[in-house]
Amino acid sequence: MYEIVSSVKRDYIVDLARQGKRVDGRALDQCRDVSVETGLIKSAQGSALVKLGSTQVLAGVKLERVEPFPDTPPSGVLMVNAELLPLASPTFEPGPPDENAIELARVVDRGIRESGAIDIDKLGITPGEEVWAVFIDIHVLDHDGNLIDASALAAIAALWSIKTPKVEGWTLPEFPIVKKPVAITMAKIDEKLMVDPCLSEENVMDARATVTTVEDGSICAIQKGGVGCFTREDLEAAYELARARAEDLRKHIG
C-alpha cells in the first residue's frame, strides 16, 4: 500500500516533522478537508462517498436474509469487505484481497462491531433459522493516504443513510443503527504524532495508531501499524487527538 521513497524526500519530511511542520502545510493535529455525500448507489440500501483530501472512498450497504451463525442464533450478521481498485493507486493490483485490503476491512469492522453501532439483536427474523445480514462493501477510488479513516467514515455514514430499508420481508420500521463510531489515525514520524497522514507521510512514518471512539469519547477499538513503537505518553496523546478530531468528522454523519 505504501511506495518506496527516495532518501532525499524521506529526509525532507522527517526534517519538517522535527520542526513541527508537514509537507502540505497543515498543523500536526489538523485533518484534511472532508466531505460526505450519501445515497449515490441506488441499488444499495445505504451508501456514502467520502473525500478526505485527495483520498476518495465509496461504501455501499446491502441487506440480505441469511442463516444465523450457530453461536449467535438470534442475532444478525455483519460483514465488511474492502476492495483496493487498481485505478486508485499504482501500488494496487487486481485479484483477490491482499493483506492490506483484509486489514482495512477488519479495522472498519471492529470499530462498528465493538462500538455496538448496530443493534444486531434487532436483526433477527426467526431465531436459529433466519436473520438479516448487513454487508458493507468498501471501494477505494483514490489513494492519497489514510484509507482507514476515510473507509470507516464512509461505512458508518452509509449505515446512517439507511432510513426505511426497502427489502422484501423487512418487518422493522427503521434500521437499528444507534451509535456513530469514528476512527482517527495518527502517524508517528521522528517522535511527532500527525493526525490524518497523507500518502507521503505514510510512506516514511515509523508507525501509525488508529483510535476509534463513540459519542461520549469512549474507545471502542485501537489498531497499531508499522514497525515502530508507541510509548504510553504517545498513546495518551493519540487518544486526546482522536477524541477531539472525531467530533469534527462526526458532524458529517447522519
Per-residue pLDDT of the chain (254 residues; tens, 9 = 90+): 666 667 888 999 999 999 999 999 999 999 999 999 999 999 999 999 999 999 999 999 999 999 999 998 989 999 999 999 898 898 898 888 899 999 999 999 999 999 999 999 999 888 889 999 999 999 999 999 999 999 999 999 999 999 766 676 666 668 999 999 999 999 999 999 999 999 999 999 999 999 999 999 999 999 999 999 999 999 999 999 999 999 999 999 98
Q: What is the pLDDT of residue 127?
A: 81
Q: Residues 224, 229, 232, CA angle at the centre, nearest 5°?
A: 90
DSSP lists the bridge partners of residue 46 as 61
Q: What is the pLDDT of residue 254?
A: 85
User: How many Cβ atoms are within 10 Å of 165's Cβ, its own excluded?
Assistant: 15
Q: What is the pLDDT of residue 137?
A: 98
User: How many Cβ atoms are within 10 Å of 178's Cβ, its own excluded?
Assistant: 12
Q: What is the pLDDT of residue 90?
A: 87
User: How many Cβ atoms are within 10 Å of 49's Cβ, its own excluded?
Assistant: 22
What's the order of all strands across the beta sheet hosting 207-213?
192-195, 182-189, 207-213, 219-225
- The domains found in the chain, sorted by start residue, are 30-250 (3.30.230.70)
Q: For residues 242 and 152, what is the distance between their CA atoms, to the nearest angstrom? A: 14
> C-alpha grid cell for residue 128?
436459529
Position 186, amino acid? M
Q: For residues 205 and 188, what is the distance between their CA atoms, to the nearest angstrom? A: 6
CB distance 81 to 137 below 8 Å: yes
CB distance 18 to 190 below 8 Å: yes
> C-alpha grid cell for residue 220?
471502542
> C-alpha grid cell for residue 231?
510509548
Q: What is the pLDDT of residue 196?
A: 98
